[in-house]
């Protein structure tokens, strides 16, 4: 199945933002974090989850597909790189195209920035900075087999539906066992959370 990648386990996230600080410290984005935390049921639950680039595989990275300047390159190992500084025109097409809300635009620099899976570290066999430090293992870097060896019975999903479109990703998410059969709803409409009607 999938090779070494990030697995996100929202059930373990404690919202500490160590990943956010770590991303800020990594060499490829020094000073800027490419991660943000989402709070899926604000006001009712303390649940949180980190959002990193999902490194879409099929269709190939919507952000790259819509880039008019061909600035976003996808490497052979499936990593969707951040925009090439010599090509990016800061048009924000990628921001609008991404179904996960990941890329950011530095308006002053006219440059798109996003998670590149810490290419400077993963190329050396190290884990990305966020998954290295994550105190709880809500972000895990490795193979599915390594994840399942540590966490018996854990199930993951790597396809997400947005309306009628399904996106397969290089980054996977831990889901309840009965949810592996079909794509995880990646966008609205969500009609109920924890048995509560949120329409």
Partner 1 sequence: MTATDPNRALPLDPSLAPPGTRNFRDAGGIPADRWHADQNGETLVPTHCCFCGVQCGMYLRVDRGGKVFGVEPRNHDINRMRLCPKGINAYQQVNHPDRLTAPLMRRNRDEEFREVSWDEALDHTVAEIRRIQGEYGNDAFGLLGGASLYSEKTYLVGKFARVALKSRHVDYNGRLCMVSAAGANKLAFGIDRAGNPFSDILLTDCLLIAGSNVGECFPVMTQYLWGARDRGATLIVVDPRETAIARTADIHVALKPGTDSAFFNAVLHVVVAEGLTDEAYLAAHAAGWEEVKATVAAYPPARSAEICGVPAEQIVQVARMFAGADRAMAWHARGVEHHSQGVENCLSIINLCVAAGHIGRPGAGYGTITGQGNGQGGREHGQKSDLLPGGRSITNPEHRRQICEIWGIDEAELPPAGTSMMEMVWQMQRKEIRGLVGICNNPFVSLPNYATVKDGYDTLEFHAQFDFFLSETAANAHVVFPVTVWAEDEGVMANAEARVVKHNKAQEPPAGVRTDTWVICELARRLGAGDKFAFPDSRSVFEELRIASAGTVNDYYGITYERLEETGGIAWPCPSTEHPGTPRLFENGRTYHPDGKIHMQVVEWHPPMDPYSEEFPLSLTTGRTVAHFLSGNQTRRLGALVEQTPRPWVEVHPSHGFRNGDPVRVVTRRGSEVFPALVTEAIRPDTVFVPYHWPVPTAANALTIDALDPRSKIPEYKVCAARIEAAERIDEVPAPPTAPGHQAYPETQVSRTDPLPPTSPQGRGTAERS
Contacts of 154 (CB under 8 A, 6+ apart): 9, 147, 148, 174
Nearest approach, Cβ of residue 69 and partner 1 (Å): 30
* Total Cβ atoms within 10 A of residue 182: 11
Interface residues for partner 1 in 48-77 (CB under 8 A)? 48
- 2 forms part of the interface with partner 1 (CB under 8 A): no
Decide whether 36 or 179 has the Cβ nearer to partner 1: 36
Kindly state whether residue 132 participates in binding partner 1, applying the rule CB under 8 A.
Answer: yes
Buried b (16+ CB within 10 A) or exposed e, 138-159: bbbbbebeebeeeeeebbbbbb
Which residues between 152 and 171 bind partner 1 (CB under 8 A)? 152
**Is the sign of the CA dihedral 172, 177, 180, 184 positive or negative?**
negative
CB of 97 to partner 1, least distance (A): 26
Stretch 8-27: interaction string toward partner 1, x if CB under 8 A:
---xxxxxxxx-xxx-xx--
CA 142, 145, 148, 149 torsion-angle sign? negative
Residue 134-153 contact track with partner 1, rule CB under 8 A, x = bound:
xxxx--xxxx--x--xxxx-
Cis, bond preceding 189 (omega within 30 deg of 0): yes
For 103, list phi and psi in degrees, rounded to 5: -60, 150
Residue from 56, 63, 113, 129 in contact with partner 1 (CB under 8 A): 129
Nearer to partner 1, 39 or 182 (CB): 39
Structure token pair of residue 85: 């500084």
CB of 28 to partner 1, least distance (A): 13
Q: Give the number of residues in contact with partner 1, rule: CB under 8 A.
A: 45
């Amino acid at each position: 199945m999938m090779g070494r990648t990030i697995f996100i386990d929202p059930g373990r996230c404690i919202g500490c933002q160590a990943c956010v600080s770590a991303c800020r410290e990594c060499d490829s984005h020094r000073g800027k974090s490419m991660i943000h935390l989402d709070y899926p049921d604000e006001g009712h639950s303390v649940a949180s989850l980190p959002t990193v680039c999902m490194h879409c595989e099929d269709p190939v990275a919507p952000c790259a597909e819509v880039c008019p300047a061909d600035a976003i390159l996808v490497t052979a190992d499936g990593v969707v790189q951040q925009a090439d500084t010599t090509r990016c025109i800061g048009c924000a097409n990628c921001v609008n195209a991404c179904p996960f809300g990941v890329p950011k635009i530095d308006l002053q620099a006219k440059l798109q920035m996003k998670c590149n899976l810490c290419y400077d570290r993963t190329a050396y066999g190290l884990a990305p900075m966020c998954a290295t430090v994550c105190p709880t293992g809500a972000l895990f870097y490795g193979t599915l087999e390594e994840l399942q060896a540590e966490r018996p019975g854990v199930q993951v999903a790597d396809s997400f539906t947005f309306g009628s479109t399904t996106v397969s990703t290089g980054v996977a998410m831990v889901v309840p066992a009965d949810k592996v059969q079909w794509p995880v709803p990646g966008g609205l409409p969500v009609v109920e959370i924890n048995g509560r009607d949120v329409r």
